[in-house]
């Protein structure tokens, strides 16, 4: 299988960390592709009409995207404990945490557009403030609700890769939330995270 990837994407990294955690990373050929809304990548667009990574190319079958769907597919390829629980409250907790992590990453991306990536004359400070507030409120919610002793699931992987990206991009910090910060530091020591460091700059 081929994974179209980006070394500075929290979403692509989520999929690759997931693959490491379930022991199938060696089955992937990982190929970095630069993409952005203003930089068309023809190879990525040929597989995903949104032009975004990650994209999973499977031999003799259709491409799969985005990270949520790729991880769900990966979870069918191993014989171990499922990282996307199949039923019960564990399933909804894992999917809810994944959704919160994905939303946090999107808020961070929006904030970067309004503070760094968009030409300064076109930036909208009120929108930047709104994105920053979403980040802070999400950190507060996580500090109150995160079960640091729960078995590993897709939500934890999504959260760890998002928090790592937030720090990588110098976005609003979660470090004054002790429980969340301690949990993240422990997660960063996992082999899956060590094998997938973030690197590179966005090209628009």
- Band (204; pLDDT cuts 50, 70, 90): confident
Q: Are 17 and 157 in contact (CB under 8 A)?
A: yes
Q: Are 25 and 19 in contact (CB under 8 A)?
A: yes
Helices within the chain (DSSP H only):
10-22, 42-47, 67-74, 88-112, 125-145, 154-168, 178-188, 191-194
* pLDDT beyond 90 at 203: no
* pLDDT beyond 90 at 81: yes
The whole-number pLDDT of residue 86 equals: 95
Residue 110: CB atoms within 10 Å: 17
Percent of the chain surpassing pLDDT 90: 96
Mean pLDDT of 72-81: 97
> What domains can you pick out in the chain, each with its CATH number?
2-74 (3.40.30.10), 88-190 (1.20.1050.10)
Residue 179: CB atoms within 10 Å: 12
Strands 2-5 and 55-57: antiparallel
The whole-number pLDDT of residue 202 equals: 86
Helix axes 178-188, 154-168, angle to 10 degrees: 100
SS3 169: coil
């Amino acid at each position: 299988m081929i994974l179209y990837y980006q070394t500075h994407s929290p979403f692509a990294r989520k999929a690759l960390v997931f693959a490491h955690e379930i022991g199938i990373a060696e089955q992937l050929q990982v190929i970095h592709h630069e993409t952005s809304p203003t930089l068309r990548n023809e190879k990525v667009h040929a597989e995903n009409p949104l032009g975004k990574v990650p994209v999973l190319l499977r031999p003799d079958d259709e491409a799969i995207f985005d990270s949520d769907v790729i991880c769900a597919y990966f979870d069918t390829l191993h014989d171990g404990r499922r990282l996307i629980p199949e039923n019960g409250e564990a399933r909804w907790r894992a999917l809810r945490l994944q959704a919160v992590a994905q939303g946090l990453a999107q808020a961070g991306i929006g904030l970067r557009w309004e503070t760094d990536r968009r030409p300064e004359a076109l930036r909208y400070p009120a929108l930047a403030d709104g994105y920053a507030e979403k980040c802070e409120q999400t950190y507060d919610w996580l500090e109150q609700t995160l079960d640091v002793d729960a078995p590993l699931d897709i939500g934890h992987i999504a959260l760890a890769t998002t928090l790592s990206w937030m720090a990588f991009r110098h976005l609003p910090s979660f470090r004054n939330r002790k429980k969340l910060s301690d949990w993240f530091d422990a997660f960063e020591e996992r082999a899956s995270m060590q094998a997938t460091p973030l690197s590179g700059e966005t090209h628009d």
